[in-house]
A = this chain, B = another copy of it.
Amino acid sequence: KKMNCNYSLYLVTDRAILEGRDLYHAVEAALQGGVTLVQLREKHTSSRDFYQIALGLKDLTCKYQVPLLINDRLDIALAVDADGIHIGQEDLPLQVVREMLGPQKIVGYSVANIEEAVYGERNGADYLGAGPVYATQTKSTPIEPLGVEGLRSIKEAVSIPVVGIGGINVRNVSQVRRSGVDGISVVSAILGSFNPANASRELYTAWHKKD
């Protein structure tokens, strides 16, 4: 059965940002701080290592009853029985992924404009990761940011949940929330902190603040 998903505070991993700090401990701290969804993203890692890391995070996210999604690698998602997968424009085609994973797993899809968002909704995505909202150093090729208005236009074009991603931090989170999206997806705002629990708590509080 498909895990019920709270997209409000969505952590995407990046071991490079940890500069040697332990991924498992950082993610556990983030879960204690209120993260509602975890995506494991690995680049240039052997399949064996990716699988082992995914098994570890699966245990951890189960313990906190938070869904675990795997970035790109459908085989890893299947092998560890993750709750789903997140794919981008460079990954396996969306329809192929949905067909192979079946209807019970979560499929997320990265989009940068309304056209991709509508395509994602029509082809089986459960939610969209839309961005970059702000300029970010996470990706090697800089892309023109959507801004809050661009994010709002994507959210208004579809009826599935939309999560903003890219350059979101505790200072701009309330602005992002006012665009109407369902959550924020962060990497460095949590994993770049030496206190991921506290960083998560601050983001959680900022997201829920009435204004």
Q: Which residues of A contact B (CB under 8 A)?
A: 44, 46-49, 51, 72-76, 78-79, 87, 89-93, 96, 100
Contacts and interface: CB of A to CB of B under 8 A. Distances in A.
Contacts of A46: 90-91
Contacts of A96: 51, 79
Contact of A91 (B47, B74, B91): B47
Max chain B Cβ within 10 angstroms of own Cβ: one of A48, A93, A100? A48
Given A47-B91, A79-B100, 16 more contacts: A46-B91, A47-B72, A47-B87, A47-B90, A48-B89, A48-B91, A48-B92, A51-B92, A51-B96, A73-B75, A74-B75, A74-B78, A75-B75, A75-B92, A76-B92, A78-B100
Nearest to A80: B96
A49, A72, A76, A92 — which one has the most chain B CB atoms within 10 A of its CB? A92
Contacts of A91: 46-48
A62 B49 CA distance: 33
A75 B51 CA distance: 13
Contacts of A51: 92-93, 96
A75 B89 CA distance: 16
A78 B155 CA distance: 33
Contacts of A44: 44
